[in-house]
């Protein structure tokens, strides 16, 4: 009898853990990391070089892969608006430090004689001990800065209701897009995507989604399917409008204004709209139990994939190799 009670308690704990971990969030993490890797291949791998005639194809792929930064920022708000534990930040820091040092040691030991950019007398640089202050993992550095203010942000979120938070978000993003995209000649000059204030805005938006938009639809009515259709249309229409306006060279006043709003900077209106669409689509899908286990297993590993492929010593090895392999193929798009 005692054994049955223990098994029952164990099952209840497992169910509670599954409820706390949203499978849709993990799937967004996986898709976002795949998106980042594809983006880095296009940009850092110099794949465009021998295929200039396909530049428009690459541009459209570029637009389709710009949503990852704002998506991860919004996800941090969806899962982080309830906690202020600095132990979570310490855990992430130790992970980054581990990959920063271990990858450098492995590359130094096994690849220094195979690649010309490594010197035979290369020593372990002290910079690898300070991953927060280095530029390799800029997103983590920005996230680190934002997390220090998290107790203050969450305190503010707890003091406002749904209507007030909605007004705050609309005001913040309205000012951001009008000021940054329409008023400024340089969209990156104010509130760039690498600024912790921009990441804080993503966090607040994610907190709103996490608090009020995570209720699952019980009945698969026509509205249930229209919901997914609506956000899918929003995602691809936003991508196409951005692509169309990028090559627009006319003098139409309104099109020129929209061209400033729908551009490929990751914190533009178009890219944030893509992120919201992706998150709202996958958060409310009901997943098969076995599929959910697979997604929940690989979801947390997405951060490791980012730390490995974007390491300063991995990029010169990985991306030129990818470029050589691709350039040897007879590609046709």
For residue 315, count CB atoms less than 10 angstroms from its CB and return exposed for 0-12, middle for 13-18, buried for 19 or more: middle
A 10 A CB-CB count for 86 gives: 13
The region of weakest confidence among 28-37, 40-49, 109-118, 289-298 is: 109-118
**CA 224 to chain centroid:** 26
pLDDT surpasses 80 at 232: yes
Percent over 70 (pLDDT), the chain: 74
Question: Do the beta carbons of residue 200 and residue 146 sit within 8 Å?
Answer: yes
pLDDT in tens, 184-216: 655 555 566 667 888 888 999 999 998 887 555
Question: For residue range 257-304, what is the model confidence (pLDDT) as tens digits?
Answer: 788 778 777 778 888 899 999 998 888 777 888 888 888 888 888 888
What does pTM read for this prediction?
A: 0.81
- What is the tens place of the pLDDT at every residue in 118-139? 444 444 566 677 777 766 788 8
Residue 84 vs residues 142, 156, 309: alpha-carbon distances, Å: 17, 13, 29
């Amino acid at each position: 009898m005692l054994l049955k009670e223990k098994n029952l308690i164990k099952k209840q704990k497992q169910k509670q853990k599954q409820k706390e971990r949203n499978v849709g969030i993990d799937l967004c993490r996986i898709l976002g990391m795949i998106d980042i890797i594809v983006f880095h291949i296009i940009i850092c791998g110099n794949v465009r070089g021998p295929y200039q005639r396909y530049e428009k194809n690459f541009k459209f792929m570029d637009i389709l892969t710009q949503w990852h930064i704002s998506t991860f920022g919004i996800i941090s708000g969806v899962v982080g608006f309830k906690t202020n534990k600095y132990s979570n930040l310490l855990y992430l820091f130790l992970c980054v430090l581990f990959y920063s040092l271990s990858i450098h040691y492995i590359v130094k030991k096994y690849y220094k004689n195979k690649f010309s950019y490594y010197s035979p007398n290369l020593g372990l640089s002290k910079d690898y001990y300070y991953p927060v202050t280095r530029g390799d993992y800029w997103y983590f550095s920005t996230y680190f800065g934002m997390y220090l203010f998290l107790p203050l942000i969450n305190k503010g979120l707890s003091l406002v209701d749904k209507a007030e938070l909605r007004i705050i978000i609309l005001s913040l993003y309205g000012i951001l897009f009008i000021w940054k995209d329409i008023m400024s000649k340089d969209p990156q000059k104010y509130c760039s995507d690498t600024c912790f204030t921009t990441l804080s805005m993503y966090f607040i938006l994610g907190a709103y989604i996490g608090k009020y938009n995570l209720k699952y639809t019980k009945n698969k009515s026509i509205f249930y399917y229209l919901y997914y259709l609506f956000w899918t249309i929003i995602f691809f229409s936003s991508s196409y409008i951005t692509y169309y306006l990028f090559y627009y060279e006319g003098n139409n006043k309104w099109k020129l204004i929209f061209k400033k709003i729908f551009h490929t900077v990751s914190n533009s209106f178009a890219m944030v709209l893509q992120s919201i669409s992706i998150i709202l689509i996958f958060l409310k899908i009901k997943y098969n139990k076995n599929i959910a286990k697979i997604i929940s297993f690989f979801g947390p590993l997405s951060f490791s994939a980012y730390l490995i492929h974007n390491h300063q010593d991995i990029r010169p090895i990985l991306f030129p190799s990818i470029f050589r392999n691709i350039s040897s193929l007879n590609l046709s798009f």
